[in-house]
Amino acid sequence: MGVEDGMQIKWPDILVLVLYFVFVLAVGLISSWKTKRGSVSGYFLASRKMHWIPVGALLFASNIGSGHFIGLAGSGAASGIGIGAFELNAIFVLMLLGWIFVPVYMSSGIYTMPEYLRERFGGQRIRVYLSCLALILSIFTKIPADLYAGALFIQQMLNKNSVEWMYLSILILLAIASIFTITGGLTAVIWTDFVQTILMVVGACILMGMSIYEVGGYNRLVTDYFTAIPSKVTYDANNQTCPNSQPPPYALNLFRPLVGSDLPWPGILFGLTIGSIWYWCTDQVLYKGVVDAFN
């Protein structure tokens, strides 16, 4: 519900939003105060004493966020359930992480992926190169998308559709995340992600139930989806409509056709797997929590 719907923001909405930020910030600050930050292991690996349940929540929350609830959900609404292959593929890649990659990381005694490359190949240049590459990729790909999606949610929640509010929302998100991340290290990140995982899972289940109820049940959803045409359609320079303006015939197929689809099945099976191995098994932000759980 946005400004164009004519909806007015109500005080319960603002109260829920404020309580969410206050609660998450409080959890992060309390974790920062209790954690041992006087050593590298304490700051980056949570003193190697974290339980596997919050570590699992860290993996979930490190991947799932505003980009999924807004971006991935929007892609699914536009073109069907095939977009879910990105997350289904992660199930099998995480098995590779636990059975193949983590034992290697543990035996190497390293904290980050650049350290492993230095131990494996020697020298400092490849370590510096990967560190810089990871920072650049995060700054220009994942972080902007998550910040934009989160700021977009705050905009819609507060019914403030302006550039100024967009930048203000981004600054609020950055400030809250920076406070407990910089001061508390991995321990604060794990516990805040644990709280947010619970909120996301519970909220997503409630939202799913309410959505299916509003459309009249799952069978009605399957039937009516193919007749759901958007009221606002974008046209290109040749006066052609946007390709996703109408539901595709393969919308309910998990594996899409080789020709004529936006996500052909060979790309999902092979191309996506290569990218997922990098993302889940070698990205230093995600794998550090797993190594910590096993140490």
Angle at 204 between CA 202 and CA 154, to 5 degrees: 105
> 26 CB contacts (<8 Å, ≥6 apart)?
none
* CA distance readout (Å), 236 to 232, 240, 255, 263: 13, 5, 28, 22
pLDDT at position 145, please? 78
Helices (H), the chain: 11-34, 40-44, 52-63, 66, 73-79, 85-96, 102-108, 113-121, 125-137, 143-158, 163-214, 218-224, 265-266, 272-277, 284-294
Q: Which three-class secondary structure string do you get for 91-136?
A: HHHHHHHHHHHHHHHHHHCCCCHHHHHHHHHCCCHHHHHHHHHHHH
CB 150 within 8 A of CB 167: no
- Tracing tokens 């519970």 back to the chain, one arrives at 202
Helix (H/G/I), strand (E/B), else coil: 245: helix
pLDDT at position 169, please? 81
- Joined tokens for residue 157: 């929640």
CB 150 within 8 A of CB 175: no
Q: Supply the DSSP symbol for 139.
A: I
- Joined tokens for residue 263: 């996500």
As a whole number of angstroms, the distance between CA 215 and CA 37 comes to 50
pLDDT at position 14, please? 75
Q: What domains appear along the chain, each with residue ranges and CATH number? A: 10-225+265-294 (1.20.1730.10)
Q: Report pLDDT digits (tens) over 172-212.
A: 778 877 776 666 666 677 777 788 888 888 988 998 899 88
pLDDT at position 46, please? 52
pLDDT at position 56, please? 75
Weakly modelled stretches of the chain, pLDDT under 70:
1-9, 28, 31-51, 180-187, 233-245, 284-295
- Tracing tokens 């494996």 back to the chain, one arrives at 120
* CA distance readout (Å), 147 to 14, 131, 140: 20, 22, 11
Helix (H/G/I), strand (E/B), else coil: 35: coil
